[in-house]
Amino acid sequence: MTAAACSSSDSSLAGGSLVRLRWQFRAATVRGRLDVHGPGRPRVRTALERHFSDRNPRQLERRYLEYQRRRTLVHRWLRQGIPHADRVVQVEGLRHLEEAISGGTGAILASAHFGHGRLIKPVLGVHGWPALLVGEQRSHMPVSRLDGRRARGEPTPPRWPQIASADLPVTLNLRPHLAALQENRPLIIMVDGRSATSLTDVMVLSIGVPLAPGAVRIARAARAPVLPTFAIDEGTLRDPLAIRLVIHAPLALQSSGDGAADVLENLKRFAAVYGEELDRNPHNFNWRYVDPESGRYGPPRDPQSREPGHEEPPLIAGSERVRPRHGP
């Protein structure tokens, strides 16, 4: 697709009515159903057959491919300021955020790369909650092109528009994050962030997912509540614009004299809530990055990241509802 065609398509996405927006998401859903060459499709099918053999893996695969097409459209929708978001995205659990903020220590909205995570910040903004997103502002360009632009002294274009871009960096210096919480601001942190220097595999259902301890460590230092939060795609051909932002009640964080044990236990408690959402909407998970042999989720670390790699950590059970692995 040419740049002019993309610009025209984006403009129609922003300026059209809600009916037109719905039809565009329905067309994306149809394309997903016909997408026989979807990204990593054989790997996706193998992973779904392994982890959800008690359901219909082929139906889940179809819903996954439909979601991937809608996900691309959501990126364009973000670039245009998410028009009609107040009518499109159903928000559940806003009272949990209100109660958390009333405590005066801010709140940490802990999420993951599941569903439409980049919608959390702008949708909260639509509802009058200016949250801060912790993350890296990456460019969409390949590293080779970025190096060329840097050598010429040219600016690098951001990957995300301002309404969905990161406000605070992923860094070992937590003073900016603690200062924001002292100002009673909500922070959005991706617990499965790929730029962290320390990751621990925690079982989410039957999948080993690398989780970073930053969110629960910041919560411990600031005495701030941690609310698992997810923007979930529930679209179907009949209702392709079904998006739900769910803010769960604060986790009951363990706080003892053993900081390391507390971090692991609190990551497990987050993983238990994450697992419930994954169990309800497995098509929101990026199955092409699940290793078919080990069952471990391993998205590639961003090549633009300067953070060092990490050793293969042990698996930690995330909840008592861990599914048994199927197959050898």
pLDDT of 4 > 60? The answer is no
| pLDDT per residue as tens digits for the range 138-197 | 644 455 555 565 577 666 566 677 888 899 998 888 999 999 999 999 999 999 977 777
Q: How many Å separate Cα 188 from the centre of its chain?
A: 10
- The 3-state DSSP class for residue 183 equals coil
Which residues fall within 8 angstroms of residue 227, CB to CB, at 6 or more apart? Answer: 93, 96, 97, 100, 107, 108, 109, 110, 247, 248, 249, 250, 251
Query: Does a structural domain hold residue 64?
Result: no
Q: Which residue would you say has higher pLDDT here, 5 or 257?
A: 257
| Each residue's pLDDT tens digit, 267-296 | 999 999 999 999 999 999 999 999 988 889
User: pLDDT tier at 16 (50, 70, 90 boundaries)?
Assistant: low
Examine residue 172 and state whether it is found in any structural domain, yes or no. Answer: yes
Question: Once rounded to an integer, what is the mean pLDDT over residues 203-222?
Answer: 95
The stretch 50-59 carries a mean pLDDT of 93
Terminal Cα distance for the chain, rounded: 43
- Residue 204 vs residues 45, 47, 265, 278, 309: alpha-carbon distances, Å: 19, 14, 13, 8, 22
Residue 301 within a domain? no
pLDDT: is 87 or 293 the higher one?
A: 87
| Nearest alpha carbon to residue 241 among 41, 37, 54, 23 | 23
Total of domains in the chain: 1
Residue 116 included in any domain: yes
Task: Give the torsion through C-alpha atoms of 199, 121, 303, 275, to 10 deg.
Answer: 40
Query: Given a cut of 60, is residue 103 above it in pLDDT?
Result: yes
pLDDT average, residue stretch 45-66: 93
Task: Please report whether residue 78 resides in a domain.
Answer: no
Report if residue 11 sits inside a domain.
no
316 confidence band (pLDDT: 50, 70, 90): very low
CA–CA separation, 301 and 298 (whole Å): 9
The string of DSSP codes covering 5-50 is HHHHHHHHHHHS-HHHHHHHHHHHHHHHHT-TT-TTHHHHHHHHHH
Q: Which domain holds residue 270?
A: 86-137+160-289
In a domain, 168, yes or no: yes
Say what the pLDDT of residue 324 is: 38
Q: Assess if residue 93 is contained within a domain.
A: yes
